[in-house]
A and B are shown apart, each in its own frame.
Chain A
Amino acid sequence: MKAKPVIIAQGLTKRFGTFTATDHISFHVDKGEIFGFLGANGAGKTTAMRMLCGLSRPTEGTATVAGFDVCREAEQVKRHIGYMSQKFALYDDLTVYENLRLFGGIYGMGGKAIREKAVFLLQELGLATERDTRVQALPLGWKQKLAFSLSIFHEPKIVFLDEPTGGVDPVTRRQFWELIYRAADRGITVFVTTHYMDEAEYCDRVSIMVDGQIEALDTPSALKRRFGADTMYDVFLRLARTARRT
């Protein structure tokens, strides 16, 4: 018996005036799945993601995230998700530990829980010696790992990653994906947008948005078979070229 999906979107639509950014998209994501959310710039990825995070109200359609309705129970949704933006939003002028304490505190974790978890986490990331270093002094790759760890620090059910690997070298990206796998193994569902097609191959399932609609949704191997392509890169190009929006 299969568990209930953690994300269910049905006819999710967002219009800004006459412009339809996201046009009746429907999909579901299962627990512990790594779900790649692909699309060219302007295809409507970010808008869809913002609606799922409770940041933006859908014009039409419904979605439940972690079992809560994104319209009516946005507060509960926010409590059960983590979010990492492409800017690795950390506070540069605070130390590594202060950042952990802040985000732990924001999600209502107690002081003791934060301290214990921080020790464990810093050990795991190999950042134990940098506990009191200000974030601005850390190399980019470390910041990125720290930002991801922060986004799942409060043990969310789902973590949304918005282009989490922008501007990072391939080796660091590979290491970053190991962190993502580890999180997924712990049962955290990962919803990730990316422009790197090699990363799309790492996902359990991939959806490709074109002009506000989901044009394809399947496992990477199934997609490649269906489009007769060798790589996800070719699959993406095929679909993205059909876009009327630029």
Chain B
Amino acid sequence: MKTFTVFVKKEFLHIFRDRRTMLILLVMPVVMIVLFGFAINTDVKDSRVVLLDHSQDELTGRIKEHLLASPYFTLAAEADEVSAVHRLFRENKADIAVVFGAHFTEELTRTGTAAVQVLTDGTEPNQASIRSSYVEAVLASCLPDLLPPGTAPAAYRIEPVVRMLYNPQSRSEFNFVPGVIGLILLLIGAMMTSIAIVKEKETGTLEVLLVSPLSPFVIVVAKLVPYFVLSCTNLMTILLLSTRLLHIPIAGSLAGLVGVTVLYILVALLLGLFISTCAESQLAAMLLSLLLIVPTVYLSGLAFPIGSMPVALQRASLVFPARWYVEAARKLMIQGVEMRYVAGECAILAGMAFALLCVSWKLFKTRL
């Protein structure tokens, strides 16, 4: 045990004395989360709105005035038929369309509820959902102005029917946090760890350690411990930043999320170990890690929804641990489901950890 702590201490010293490593380990996660957070949270201003009014009466006219008075919308065109709306979308001259039916006013006065169709451009799902929520807000706030004085506004409702064109599956704007966690932990786990191990191969110190009475198992575990600790620190930083700075709520159980993340950290560390057994130089380790990380960005569902990928890519995404982690973390963070609904993802991650452990161990042994 004492030799183990001596070794772990040494490993921390390596990290603390390398300014670049420290920068990557501690500053990058903060920068990434803040960048992503603010890049996605910025207000969507000056959306180009297309109006299609089949009623053309006083009431719809006043609603349109309200919409265009909002700083968020500028008029792209008044269309006279649906095909014109679609054409404007395709020509990228419109971001959102508001369609009033022919019997809008009649419905509202007779039944108290009237529907308005809101069409958004789903190729930018985050902006699309922000834009449609603005339309909804305008519709709700202008209602009291539209009714004759004396009537109770509560009795009337304008119901927006939102349809996202080109990407029917709308996504939450906070989807990115699980993705960023997945990416950062992979970067630290796989890249930094493999580099740290391969560095000892390069300098020859690994051989000296192997000749020592330390068992290879202790050497490997002691090398992984500091990176595990730092990954957990990063997880805390990210969660704190997302909840306090970006006000992203964690809908599900925090303990469950942390549990799944710790499992994912293990997978990432073992991936690092695996890479280190394949690579002979630090450069090779870095390239191998990048080879793993770049597709992860695209295939984990972090940047693009997996559901809208071609089948071949969907299949390819199955082998990336980040895909399963991001899925589980989203369920827990955003949908707020119970733990049993992420059991499948957890089982797959655990299986990956086990497989990586076996393979790396075998490779590590045969080197001897």
A residues whose Cβ falls under 8 Å from a Cβ of B? 53-57, 75, 78-79, 81, 83-94, 98, 101-103, 105-108, 151, 160
Contact = CB atoms under 8 A, between A and B. Distances in A.
Given A55-B368, A92-B203, A94-B13, A83 B211 contact: yes
B204 A106 contact: no
Contacts of A55: 207, 210-211, 368
B14 interface: yes
A93 B205 CA distance: 12
B14 A106 contact: no
B236 interface: no
B364 to A, nearest CB: 12
Contact of A105 (B2, B18, B203): B2
Contacts of B215: 75
14 contacts: A57-B368, A83-B208, A89-B203, A89-B204, A90-B205, A91-B14, A91-B203, A93-B13, A94-B14, A106-B3, A106-B209, A107-B212, A108-B213, A160-B211
A83 B212 CA distance: 8
Interface string B79-119: 00000000000000000000000000000000000000000
Nearest to B2: A105
Contact of A87 (B18, B203, B210): B203
B204 A86 contact: yes
State the majority secondary structure of interface residues on B.
helix
B16 to A, nearest CB: 9
B205 A89 contact: yes
Nearest to A108: B3
Nearest to B14: A93
Contacts of B214: 106
A160 B212 CA distance: 12
Contacts, number: 70
Contacts of A53: 211
Contacts of B205: 89-91
B17 interface: yes
Max chain B CB contacts within 10 Å: which of A56, A83, A89, A94? A89
A79 B10 CA distance: 21
B6 A93 contact: no
Contacts of A90: 205
A75 B213 contact: yes
A162 to B, nearest CB: 9
Contacts of A89: 203-205, 207-208
B204 A79 contact: no
B320 interface: no
Interface string B12-39: 0110011000000000000000000000
Contact of B3 (A54, A98, A105): A105
A79 B213 contact: yes
Given A78-B213, A89-B208, A90-B205, 8 more contacts: A54-B211, A55-B211, A93-B17, A94-B13, A105-B2, A105-B3, A108-B213, A160-B211
Interface string B189-231: 0000000000000011101111111110000000000000000
Contacts of B204: 85-89
Max chain B CB contacts within 10 Å: which of A55, A106, A151? A106
Contacts of A83: 207-208, 211-212
